[in-house]
């Protein structure tokens, strides 16, 4: 992958997405243009059904657009095969979801090791990298607990450790605080801010909570399958000391 004159990390042009066909066809995205620079922390907001998750799935290479172009670090994603897209996803992207999506009977350590297993890392290396990632999210000492033995906030931390264990360029978070109370939500936001600030991970986060979006550098508002408003905020708010 080439990295010449520093193109934006993400460049979407004229992106459309139509689900279904004929009279049942529904256009979830109706021409999205969006650039995201490396190192940004972007919040995505908008009413339910406005296309936020569809856009996240396209950016995360979990789905393909009906039309338009997507460049990731200058590479045209639409020109990649399914396997190449999977490789790009594995190498560059981490995902965090509202519902954590952890394996239930599996320890925090094993959950976090999973992406490294897919990468073919050896046992000792996997163990060490997972331990470091859990440490990074404040869960040192909790390696051997299963999700049922952890609070919601801790489970989301495990999910974040799993997302960052492979040192992604981009973290895609779809309502990461949607299942958490305010205190736990703010802790998760502080963690995401730290990963962005200290490790240079670009973050794109869907949220419907203005309080959480306030942590971002930028808020992109979707409506009816389009970007309605793109709001820059600076500087990034700092977390209050506890």
User: Which residues form the interface with ligand ADP (CB under 6 A)?
Assistant: 19-20, 26, 28, 46, 48-54
Question: Crossing angle of helices 108-119/82-92, nearest 10°?
Answer: 130
Task: Pick between residue 46 and residue 147 the one whose CB is nearest to ligand ADP.
Answer: 46
Residue owning tokens 């394996």: 103
Instruction: State the nearest-atom distance from the C-beta of 210 to ligand ADP, in Å.
Output: 16
Question: d(Cα 152, Cα 227) in Å, to the nearest integer?
Answer: 32
Beta carbon nearer to ligand ADP, 49 or 74: 49
Nearby residues of 178 by Cβ (< 8 Å), 6 or more positions away: 98, 207, 208
Q: Judged by CB, which is closer to ligand ADP: 15, or 137? A: 15
Terminal-to-terminal C-alpha distance of the chain: 43
Residue 222 CB, shortest distance to ligand ADP, in Å, is: 6
Q: Least distance (Å) from ligand ADP to the CB of residue 206?
A: 7
C-alpha dist (Å) from residue 229 to 4, 37, 70, 150: 30, 17, 20, 38
Task: Tell me the closest approach of the beta carbon of residue 82 to ligand ADP, in angstroms.
Answer: 18
Shortest CB 50 distance to ligand ADP, Å: 4
Nearer to ligand ADP, 19 or 118 (CB): 19
Judge contact between 224 and 48, C-beta under 8 A.
no
- Strands 218-223 and 67-72: what pairing? unpaired
Q: Of the two residues 31 and 49, which places its CB atom closer to ligand ADP in the complex?
A: 49
- Which CB, 36 or 220, lies closer to ligand ADP? 220
**Min. distance of Cβ 96 from ligand ADP in angstroms?**
15
Q: Answer whether 15's CB lies under 8 Å from 58's CB.
A: yes
């Amino acid at each position: 992958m080439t990295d010449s004159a520093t193109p934006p990390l993400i460049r979407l042009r004229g992106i459309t997405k139509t689900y279904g066909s004929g009279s049942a066809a529904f256009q979830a995205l109706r021409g999205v243009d969006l650039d995201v620079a490396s190192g940004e922390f972007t919040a995505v907001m908008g009413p339910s059904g406005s296309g936020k998750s569809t856009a996240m799935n396209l950016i995360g290479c979990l789905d393909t657009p009906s039309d338009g172009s997507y460049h990731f670090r200058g590479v045209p994603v639409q020109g990649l095969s399914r396997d190449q897209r999977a490789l790009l996803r594995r190498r560059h992207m981490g995902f965090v979801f509202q519902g954590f999506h952890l394996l239930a009977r599996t320890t925090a350590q094993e959950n976090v090791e999973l992406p490294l297993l897919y990468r073919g890392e050896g046992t000792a290396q996997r163990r060490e990298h997972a331990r470091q990632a859990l440490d990074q999210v404040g869960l040192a000492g909790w390696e051997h607990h299963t999700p049922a033995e952890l609070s919601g906030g801790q489970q989301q931390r495990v999910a974040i450790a799993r997302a960052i264990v492979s040192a992604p360029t981009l973290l895609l978070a779809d309502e990461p605080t949607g299942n958490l109370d305010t205190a736990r939500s703010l802790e998760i936001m502080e963690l995401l801010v730290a990963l962005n600030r200290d490790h240079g991970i670009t973050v794109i986060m869907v949220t419907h909570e203005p309080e959480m979006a306030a942590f971002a550098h930028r808020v992109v508002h979707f409506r009816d399958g389009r970007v309605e408003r793109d709001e820059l905020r600076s500087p990034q708010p700092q977390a209050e000391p506890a």
